[in-house]
Structure 1
Amino acid sequence: MFTPPPSPGRPPSDLKDGITVPDAAVAVSGSATHPMSPETLKRRIGRRTRWTVILVPVVLVLITLSTRYLTHPAAFDMFSEPASSLNWESLSEHASDWTVHKRHPPMEARDSTLASGASQASSASLTAASLTGASGTSSTAAPASSELPISEQTVPTVPATPPTLPTPFPQPFDSSLSQNFSSLSCFNFFSNMTNTAAFRSCRPFSLLLQASEAFLEAQEDLDSLNSIVWGTCNTTIDDADCSANMAWFASNLQTSCATDISQKNSMAMSTLIALNAFDLMRSAGCLVDPTTDTYCYLDAVRNSNPSDTYFFSLPLGIGMPSNTIASCSACTKSLMGLYYSALTNSSESSELTSLQQVYPSAAKIAVADCGTAYATLTTTTSSALPLRTVRGLFLGTLLLIITLLIP
């Protein structure tokens, strides 16, 4: 019977791979395989964690810097192009190019470069379009006057020949008569007046200045405004007939709008003032600066100093702000002289009560800023002494008597 050989068992302690090893070395080696204590394990994990926290960001920074600043094969550029621009030809061309490529500029720089190129291309196309007309010829069209700010427009001279007037010609109350009236008779009067040829053909400057949207809009274009002012000075109906027409309307307004006037309806009252000031304001609107041969009203609109336009509104009873600084122009002097003459004319002054109220303060401003030659401070419209003067004389006399009587 076959008997298997005995198990080889554990090799002698003094042999290892055929080499005699001392027992002490075996003991040390065996002891190294023993598990570490928990405290030692925690310290080792802690050290590894600290090094991980430090090294991982450093590695990420190095990777970022390498991809941003180091060169790379030009073939990689295919991945940075938009998908719409890729095709088989471009892919094969990029794939075969393994030369070293310089780093790309930052995205902000590329975006600014693209924007600059687009801007230059756009400017070039606009320049070509502006210089070349439909026929291919060069042209340099100047901007229209209305496209320029009013301060940059040139004041045109008074037309030497009849200009082309706007059609329809601007009229007062062109927006609507929606303001409430106290009486139906007053509303009917305004509706009839604004639609009659006797009123519309006279083109009253006083009412255009006060209640016309079209006239207000025309002040953005001095060429258009020049034609309109010329039209108010040169009507198809002569001056005398227009004066009679406006006087008739003023008289009938006081009858038809008696209730509205008694209740201080603003439209009724301001229209009555403008109708009464028709002659004076027509003369004011037609004033011409002899040194420039331009309408004074256009000079006032063009001037950045609003005081010049304030002077034109005085006959409407609109006073000047106390902080106004007069421009001391020749037109201001002519206007104040025109107003003073009307106030001292007995046939006109009775219809200009609103001007009488605001003229003194305006004259003081003109004299203070421009000198006594620009306006007359006093008028002869009334011979009665002011109440404050009478009181002052009475108190002065009383004090004099008391002083004499006291020893």
Structure 2
Amino acid sequence: MRKRAVASSTESVSTTLSVAVASSKSSSSVAPSPTAEPSPLPSPLDGSLSSNFTTSSCPAFINSFLADPTFQQCYPFSLLLEGGSRSLFTAYKSIVSITQVLDASCAANVTLCNNYFQGLVQKLTTTDNCAADYNLGNPVVVQTYVALKAYAPTYTATCTKDPESSAYCFAETVTSNLSNVYIYFLPFNMSLANNPVPTCNSCLQNVMSVYHSATANRKQFIANTYVAAANNININCGPDFVNQTLAAEVVSSNGLQGLAGGPSLSLLATLSLVSIIPWLL
């Protein structure tokens, strides 16, 4: 019964998100000011740790790595995005402020940071830390698990720049082109039943190329969502706009399988969708 309820919730949230994107795009008549004052860097999971936990060890573990200098230096944009950071919503108001956030995240050494985050994923789901809350579907724990696991493909996608303007493609998308925003949530196992019609530009092609390469690791969530998204894009942009197949599989030690008994993939998708709706409305 729980799985059927989750599936129904996913479908409902997908419809709401599609409407929200269309509404936001049509109602935005004033372009963000490029001279806006940059805001302080957003914090991951701000306001989220008041969530109900079954043990005290889980929030203690999360707080410990949030305070870790290595974590702070790596500054994972994936956790800001998937975790629904409240302070990130403010950064979306201008291309200057969101660019400041992306600069900080993209300055990290992606290889070293990915190794660090995959180690955190393993520790997060141990009995001594957050296994109980993970298996019960605690939103904070599940979103943290998904975001850290998807760090590498999210890093590369959100650090991709528009070849014409040299601006971050993500920054341009969230400030002026919401029709393409859903592609940045594909690494979190999010797929929408009714995606908005995409803007067929070089940013869309380049980000999808990043994802295509990432699908070589079948343990990454992007391997679940890529083909459907590519098919949707090619229906609107032309049959050869993006590659519609998965890359040849490569076994990687840095992609971790979801644990047996953990939350279903449909639940992960639901949590991802819910996290982005507030700033689209």
Task: Give the alignment's TM-score, normalised by structure 1.
Answer: 0.50
Please give the alpha-carbon distance, in whole angstroms, between the structure 2 residues aligned to 1:320 and 1:335.
18
Among all aligned residue pairs of Structure 1 and Structure 2, give the percentage whose two residues are the same amino acid. Answer: 27
| Aligned residue runs from structure 1 range 268-347, under 5 A | 268-304=141-177, 306-344=178-216
Counterpart for residue 36 of structure 1: none
How many residues are matched? 218
Secondary structure of the residue that 1:374 maps to in structure 2? coil
Q: SS in structure 2 opposite 1:373?
A: coil
Q: Which residue of 2 aligns with 1:357?
A: 224
Aligned counterparts of 2:51 and 2:248: Cα–Cα separation in 1: 35
Matches within 5 A, 1:200-219: 200-211=72-83, 212-219=85-92
Q: 1:349-386 CA deviation, whole Å, 9 max, x = no partner?
A: 32x1x32222222111101000123222222678xxxx
Out of 240, 255, 273, the residue aligned to residue 373 of structure 1 is 240
Change in 2 beyond 3 A, CA 1:150/1:290: farther
Deviation, structure 1 residue 199:
1.2
Q: Which runs of 5+ in 2 are unaligned?
A: 1-27, 250-281
| Residues 150 and 220 in structure 1, CA contact (< 8 A), matched pair in contact too | no
Distance 2:68 2:43 in 1: 12
Map 1:5-404 → 2, pairs under 5 A: 151-153=30-32, 167=40, 169-211=41-83, 212-235=85-108, 238-255=109-126, 256-304=129-177, 306-344=178-216, 348-350=217-219, 352=220, 354-379=221-246
Partners of 2:103 and 2:118 lie apart in 1 by 23
Instruction: Give me the whole-angstrom Cα distance separating, in 2, the residues matched to 1:204 and 1:213.
Output: 15
Inter-CA distance 332–153: structure 2 relative to 1 (3 Å threshold) = same
Contact 2:161 2:169 in 1 (8 A): yes
- The amino acid of 2:227's aligned partner reads P
Q: Point out the structure with max Rg over C-alpha.
A: 1
How far does residue 331 in structure 1 lie from its aligned partner after superposition?
Answer: 0.7
Deviation digits for residues 7-47 of structure 1, max 9, x if unmatched?
Answer: xxxxxxxxxxxxxxxxxxxxxxxxxxxxxxxxxxxxxxxxx
Whether the 8 Å contact between 1:343 and 1:349 is mirrored in structure 2 is yes
Q: Is the 8 A contact 2:48 2:140 kept in 1?
A: no
Q: CA deviation at 1:166?
A: 5.5
Rounded Cα–Cα distance in structure 1 between residues aligned with 2:167 and 2:186? 21
Aligned-pair CA distance for 1:280: 1.1
CA shift for structure 1 position 227: 1.4
Distance 1:257 1:381, change over 3 A: farther
Q: Distance in 2 between matches of 1:278 and 1:364?
A: 24
Q: How big is the shift at 1:234?
A: 1.2
Q: Aligned pair in 2 of structure 1 residues 332, 154: CA closer, same or farther (>3 Å)?
A: farther
Amino acid at match of 1:320: L
More relative contact order, 1 or 2 (CA 8 Å, 6+ apart):
2
Structure 1 runs of 4+ aligned residues shifted over 3 Å read: 164-167
TM-score by length of 2: 0.71
Letter in 2 for 1:327: T
Is the CA contact (8 Å cut-off) linking 1:151 and 1:303 kept in structure 2? Answer: no
Q: Residues 258, 176 of structure 1: CA spacing in aligned structure 2 closer, same or farther, 3 A cutoff?
A: closer
**Residue pair 2:214, 2:222 contacting (<8 A) in 1 also:** no
Q: CA RMSD in A?
A: 2.3
Give 2:173's aligned amino acid: A
Deviation track 1:76-107 (CA, whole Å, cap 9, x = no partner) reads xxxxxxxxxxxxxxxxxxxxxxxxxxxxxxxx
Gapped runs of 5+ residues in structure 1? 1-148, 157-163, 383-407
Q: Specify the code of the residue in structure 2 equivalent to 1:357.
A: N
Q: C-alpha separation between the residues in 1 aligned to 2:155 and 2:161?
A: 12
Distance 1:220 1:371 in 2: 32
Distance 1:291 1:334, change over 3 A: same
| Inter-partner Cα distance in structure 1 for 2:208 and 2:54 | 37
Cα gap change, 1:282 to 1:321, in 2 (>3 Å):
same
Please state how far the C-alpha of 1:293 moved relative to its aligned partner.
Answer: 1.1
